Amino acid sequence: MQIISGTVVAEKVLEECRRDIAALAALGKKPGLAVVLVGDDPASRAYVRSKDKKCRDLGLHSVKLELPVTTTQAELLAHVEALNQDPTIHGILVQSPPPPHIDEAAIVRAIDPAKDVDGFHPVNVAKLALEDPTGFVPCTPLGCQRLLIEAGIETKGANAVVVGRSMIVGKPMALLLMAKGPGGDATVTVAHSRTRDLPAITRQADIIIAAIGRPHFITAEHVKEGAVVIDVGINRVEAPGTEKGYKLVGDVAYDEVAPKCRAITPVPGGVGPMTIAMLMANTIKACQQARSEERR
Ligand code: GUN
């Protein structure tokens, strides 16, 4: 059984980022990322902080906007518009989910698609479906695909089952796995909360992508012998007696599933570090594409 280390693969991606950042610096360019958080959800705050920190570690320009929960739709739109116009900012990310009074779809549509490093804007969703390489692909599924490639997992012709149909992970993951080329060419099934007899479906899978958002949901009965399991879940569960009072667990019941697997990602140290590395890579790509746009 192979444990696929996201920490190791993310470091490789970040090394490529450092090389690209140096090449841009030689041209007088520095990629800039703006991360916007509305409200004070503790998990979202932690994600936003770690994105900001990673930017600074790499020497990227980073702007972190932490807005109060009382921020109105119009105020948030004004912030997005200002970032769209800011030439030092190449990537804009509004942390999801926003508070309930915010119309998230309208905010996403307001982001300049050329700066939408999350890949959530309709233009980028369409580019992914069209296999247009100039688009931005959501960071988490892009990181999962990279993990499969780096771990030497053959996706071509494989039965891949994606469990979860979110806009952030499930849907783009399915599109990536069915696209032509490395990390693609799979036969893809998308299962979700309304799927009948889920274990019967996932037991057909050579590759399972677990993106349900429920702790330890995928158990041994869901997995065939020799499957590859990618665990996207980051769930906070109570852990009395620990310093923080909680711990992070995946969507996969790791202890019972891992012994059946050919390969599996751990939580933490699996998909998590990849998401942030791919965000850095997307921000660099946005800067590179902005440059070639200028030269046209
Ligand atoms: N919330 C959970 N994952 C993500 C992500 O990749 N991007 C944004 N903007 N919000 C998220």
239 contacts 247 by C-beta, under 8 angstroms: yes
Closest CA to 43 of 267, 259, 248: 248
Spatial separation of the C-alpha atoms in residues 19 and 217, rounded to whole Å = 39
The ligand 1 atom at the shortest distance from the C-alpha of residue 279 is: 6
Tell me the backbone φ, ψ of residue 210, rounded to 5 degrees. Answer: -95, 110
191 C-beta neighbours (distance < 10 Å), count: 21
- Give the 3-state secondary structure of residue 296: coil
208 contacts 228 by C-beta, under 8 angstroms: yes
What are the residues whose beta carbons fall under 8 Å from the beta carbon of 214, sequence distance 6 or more?
Answer: 233, 235, 251
pLDDT at residue 294, as a whole number: 74
Report whether residue 111 contacts ligand 1, using a CB cutoff of 6 Å.
no
Report whether residue 166 contacts ligand 1, using a CB cutoff of 6 Å.
no
pTM, full prediction: 0.97
73 is catalytic: no
CA of 168 from ligand 1 middle (Å) equals 7
What are the residues whose beta carbons fall under 8 Å from the beta carbon of 23, sequence distance 6 or more?
Answer: none
The ligand 1 atom at the shortest distance from the C-alpha of residue 275 is: 6
For 18, the token pair is 């450092």
CA of 67 from ligand 1 middle (Å) equals 16
Q: Whose CA is nearest to atom 4 of ligand 1?
A: 96
Spatial separation of the C-alpha atoms in residues 183 and 231, rounded to whole Å = 17
The ligand 1 atom at the shortest distance from the C-alpha of residue 96 is: 10
Report whether residue 93 contacts ligand 1, using a CB cutoff of 6 Å.
yes
Q: Whose CA is nearest to atom 11 of ligand 1?
A: 96
275 contacts 47 by C-beta, under 8 angstroms: no
Burial class (CB within 10 angstroms; exposed 0-12, middle 13-18, buried 19+) of 262: middle
Report whether residue 150 contacts ligand 1, using a CB cutoff of 6 Å.
no
118 is catalytic: yes
- The one-letter code for the residue type at 178 is M
Residues of the chain with pLDDT under 70: 295-296
284 contacts 18 by C-beta, under 8 angstroms: no
Spatial separation of the C-alpha atoms in residues 249 and 238, rounded to whole Å = 10
CA of 37 from ligand 1 middle (Å) equals 11
CA of 122 from ligand 1 middle (Å) equals 16
95 is catalytic: yes
Q: To test ligand 1's pocket by mutation, which of 118, 144, 276 has the most ligand atoms within 8 angstroms of CB?
A: 118
Q: Which of 52, 95, 171, 251 is catalytic?
A: 95
DSSP-assigned letters across all residues of 106-170: HHHHHS-GGG-TT--SHHHHHHHHTT-TTSPPPHHHHHHHHHHHHTT---TT-EEEEE---TTTH
pLDDT at residue 296, as a whole number: 67
Spatial separation of the C-alpha atoms in residues 287 and 154, rounded to whole Å = 32
- Report CA torsion sign: 232, 5, 201, 237: negative
Q: Which of 52, 115, 116, 118 is catalytic?
A: 118
- Beta-strand pair 2-3/159-163: unpaired
pLDDT tens for 1-48 read 999 999 999 999 999 999 999 999 999 999 999 999 999 999 999 999
